[in-house]
Amino acid sequence: MKIIIVGCGKVGYTLVEQLSAEGHNIIAIDENMEKLTAVTNNFDVIGIEGNGVSYEILKEADIKGTDLLIAVTGSDEHNLLCCMIAKKAGNCKTIARVRNPIYHNDVEYLKNEFGLAMIINPESALAQEMSQIVRFPFAQKIDSFANGHINLVHFRVDTDSVLVGRSLQDIRLSLKSQMLVCLVNRDGEVTIPRGEFVIQAGDVLGVVAERAKVNTYFKQLAISTTRAKDVIILGGGKTSYYLAKILLKNGQNVKIIEIDRERCEELCERLPKATIIHGDATDHNLLLQEGLEDADVVVSMTNLDEENILLSMFCQSNSNAKTITKVNRVNFSGILDQLSLDSVLYPRLITADYITKFVRSASNSLNNDVENFYKLAEGQAEALEFSVKDDSLVTGTALQQLRIRKNTLICCIYRDGQVIIPSGQDCIMPGDTVVIILKDYKINNLDEILER
């Protein structure tokens, strides 16, 4: 696809990186030459200095020959206007980043009125991801497939876990559960494991299971699945507001600590059921006074990455609370892996992944059957969902007889409302939903998992 990206900030840069790697023809537009140069120096893309709202600039970028325009500047109104002009000038699909909460309830109206293919609110998307983790406190991250019926749950193996020192084959036989370890991240190295793989303490496992039975399976592993009741949020920004709304709706107790008094008063009006504390979240005595030791989950969301990291480390040292840490700079990831923080979320990656997922579906053709996908372990692997066609080459043959490519795992089948963790004797049938994990190569069609 030919794609124009307007805005080369953190999200724009990440989008250029991801979409150019997927083979799309990218043109980047930004008024800031320094940001534009950072993009064009690092990736094989065309850069145009200028305002993306300008028809002349869009014409220079060949808007009439463009398939998709993505507007991710710092201004919501700028993004919406840019998409509207692009739609009129080039009749291409458009995506706008819209962050202001005042537009949150107007998303469908704006999409329809402006003819947008998608509106992404990064803070709302991040809050949704966080709420999933709060729901399953033992998880670092959760991905969903088959309209939510299948979960891919990522969690770290503790030193005292019953899994340590055991092979995957042994675990599956002894537990006799419909759960499959399909991914292992050990010291930053990702493996799609086979049955003889032995688990070590510190491994981060990706486990596929039926959503309704996730808690049951983790109880078998002697992992606490107690629902989080008391949540402390450090920082009262937009994401904190969206997250608090979700948690309060779910019946959880929410306490927000925010240093800005005016913002505290605003949050009190908008979130009457939450407890809003005016204070400095970096004040350790304040955290202890406000119930840190009894909290189930602590979410660190101040404006500084360093603060968030140190706050989560302090909370881990002084409570049994699950910690969720917001980090804006992706280049911290290698260091953070060594700190064993519970869950670290990168807003720009979540936003970029949402958009990249849409781009893959928008480029759907006879050769692209991907229904859903997630980048795993910072892009080292992918989980893809396919709806199986009648003429697929993988149907009607036992999985053990298929010549499947290396570093590929068929980890789940969804058929007629039933979740199947397949064995070698199972067959894929037309109409099934199939989830595949793979690394070291990319596919657009289910048949491409077969060796040629």
Question: What pLDDT, in 10s, does the model give residues 114-168?
Answer: 889 999 999 999 999 999 889 888 888 888 888 889 999 999 898 988 899 999 9
Residue 246 has pLDDT above 70, yes or no: yes
Say if residue 399 is in the same domain as residue 443.
yes
Encode pLDDT of 253-302 as tens digits.
999 999 999 999 999 999 999 999 999 999 999 999 999 999 999 999 99
Assess if residue 225 is contained within a domain. Answer: no
Encode pLDDT of 390-444 as tens digits.
989 999 999 999 999 999 999 999 999 999 999 889 999 999 999 999 998 888 8
The predicted pLDDT at position 295 comes to 96
The predicted pLDDT at position 333 comes to 61
Assess if residue 152 is contained within a domain. Answer: yes
Confidence of residue 368 (pLDDT cuts 50, 70, 90): low
The Cα 406–Cα 439 span in angstroms is 9
State which of 350, 382, 412 marks the end of a domain: 350
Tell me what percent of the residues of the chain surpass a pLDDT of 70. Answer: 97
The predicted pLDDT at position 306 comes to 92
Q: Please state, rounded to an integer, the average pLDDT across all residues of the chain.
A: 90
Say if residue 216 is in the same domain as residue 234.
no
Say if residue 162 is in the same domain as residue 211.
yes
Say if residue 135 is in the same domain as residue 101.
no
Confidence of residue 221 (pLDDT cuts 50, 70, 90): confident
Q: How many CB atoms neighbour CB 225 within 10 A?
A: 15
Q: Specify which residues 254 forms β-bridges with.
A: 231
State which of 220, 254, 288 marks the end of a domain: 220
Cα angle 233-151-200, degrees, rounded to a multiple of 5: 85
Assess if residue 355 is contained within a domain. Answer: no
Domain of residue 48, CATH code:
3.40.50.720
Residue 331 has pLDDT above 80, yes or no: no
Confidence of residue 380 (pLDDT cuts 50, 70, 90): confident
Residue 219 has pLDDT above 50, yes or no: yes
Residues 6+ apart with CB under 8 A from 95: 68, 69, 70, 71, 83, 116, 117, 118, 119, 120, 355, 358
Burial class (CB in 10 A: 0-12, 13-18, 19+), 289: exposed
Say if residue 111 is in the same domain as residue 140.
no
Lowest mean pLDDT of 25-34, 67-76, 369-378, name the range.
369-378
Assess if residue 334 is contained within a domain. Answer: yes
> How far, in Å, are 66, 85, 90, 137, 258 from residue 59 at the CA level?
10, 11, 9, 50, 45
State mean pLDDT over 352-380. Answer: 77
Tally of structural domains, the chain: 4
The predicted pLDDT at position 375 comes to 84
The parent domain of residue 26 ranges over 2-120
Residues 6+ apart with CB under 8 A from 170: none
Say if residue 95 is in the same domain as residue 162.
no
State mean pLDDT over 82-97. Answer: 93
Domain of residue 400, CATH code:
3.30.70.1450
> How far, in Å, are 192, 378, 448 from residue 406 at the CA level?
9, 20, 12
State which of 350, 379, 412 marks the end of a domain: 350
State mean pLDDT over 188-200. Answer: 91
| Cβ pair 413, 422 in contact under 8 A | yes
Residues in the chain: 452
The predicted pLDDT at position 366 comes to 44
The predicted pLDDT at position 83 comes to 95
Say if residue 140 is in the same domain as residue 45.
no
Say if residue 306 is in the same domain as residue 331.
yes
Say if residue 237 is in the same domain as residue 337.
yes
Say if residue 369 is in the same domain as residue 340.
no
Lowest mean pLDDT of 295-299, 339-343, 362-366, 387-391, name the range.
362-366
Say if residue 207 is in the same domain as residue 234.
no
Lowest mean pLDDT of 146-155, 270-279, 326-335, 365-374, name the range.
365-374
Assess if residue 328 is contained within a domain. Answer: yes
Confidence of residue 86 (pLDDT cuts 50, 70, 90): very high
Report which listed range, 53-57, 325-329, 332-336, is most confident. Answer: 53-57
Assess if residue 91 is contained within a domain. Answer: yes
Assess if residue 77 is contained within a domain. Answer: yes
Tokens at 435, concatenated: 């989830």
The predicted pLDDT at position 332 comes to 63
Say if residue 165 is in the same domain as residue 186.
yes
